[in-house]
Amino acid sequence: MTTIRWSGEGANEAGSRERAFEVDRDGVLIPGLLWTPDSGSGPQPLILMGHGGTRDKRAMVELGTMFARDYGWCAAAIDAPGHGERGAAADFEGFVEAWGDGSIVEEMTADWRATLDMLERLGEVDSARIGYWGMSMGSMLGIPYVASDDRVVVAVLGKVGVTGTVPDRTGVAAELEEYAPQIEVPVLFSMQWDDELFDREGQFELFDLIGSEDKRLHAYPGAHAEYGEETLEMHADFFERQL
């Protein structure tokens, strides 16, 4: 049985409300955060956000707040297995260890399904307008999830490929090659032109594998650094057109 427990009263800030929750998926505890607009304007789209490796759900605070405050949407993030409250993958070696035998992919897909089961019961969420956002590890885990849950109707993915340091160390290429062709929803794929963790050609190859008829490639300069405000606004605009 899956249940959800809310903790704290929630914090109102800059036009959005942040609430912490914990989903119990048959004994697996999944800590998360939900952002909602404070306008009370009825059911809104929900963007599920996957954080990067060595990070946790709180890395999504700025983006979740932006979605709620500026666009009036709901947004949610959960800790991936081995990250945040679920582990100590605070550096690259810890991140590689969290991937272990690759079972993290199946586990995270089940975690997202259970989380969405709970969140779409809320009056704030429009269950017909669900999007997914994830860069780097957020795409490594997000691509299998988006391919597996037909409730997700649009995705922003990127900073990931089938060759490079991370695929070599985690073996994730097999999962990406299996699931990317199964994605059919509109996809915006953002890649950094010089990314030391994923080879450029491997990112192009993954983009080609995505099965969506509507898929768009956005390449921007730089190494594996934080995406800028302009890129995030482009991502939000893509969601807005699709949702």
What does the pLDDT look like over 189-232, one tens digit per residue? 999 898 989 999 999 999 999 999 999 999 988 655 566 788 89
pTM for the model stands at: 0.95
Backbone angles phi, psi at 203, to 5 degrees: -70, -40
The per-residue pLDDT for 11 is 67
Q: What is the mean pLDDT of the chain?
A: 92
What does the pLDDT look like over 9-42, one tens digit per residue? 666 777 889 999 999 999 999 999 999 998 767 8
The per-residue pLDDT for 95 is 86
The per-residue pLDDT for 97 is 87
The per-residue pLDDT for 161 is 97
What does the pLDDT look like over 106-156, one tens digit per residue? 999 999 999 999 999 988 999 999 999 999 999 999 999 999 999 999 999
Q: Packing angle between helix 229-242 and helix 61-71, nearest 10 degrees? A: 50
- Helix, strand, coil percent values for the chain (each to nearest 5): 40, 30, 30
Q: What is the torsional sign of CA 110, 87, 235, 127?
A: positive
The per-residue pLDDT for 237 is 96
* Cα(172)–Cα(152) distance, integer angstroms: 22
The per-residue b/e assignment along 122-152, b for 16 or more CB within 10 angstroms, e otherwise, is eebbbeebbbbbbbbbbbbbbbbbbbbeebb
What does the pLDDT look like over 51-87, one tens digit per residue? 999 899 999 999 999 999 999 999 999 999 999 899 8
Over range 174-203, report the average pLDDT. 95
The per-residue pLDDT for 227 is 67
Pick the CATH number of 37-242 from 3.40.640.10, 2.40.50.140, 3.40.50.620, 3.40.50.1820: 3.40.50.1820
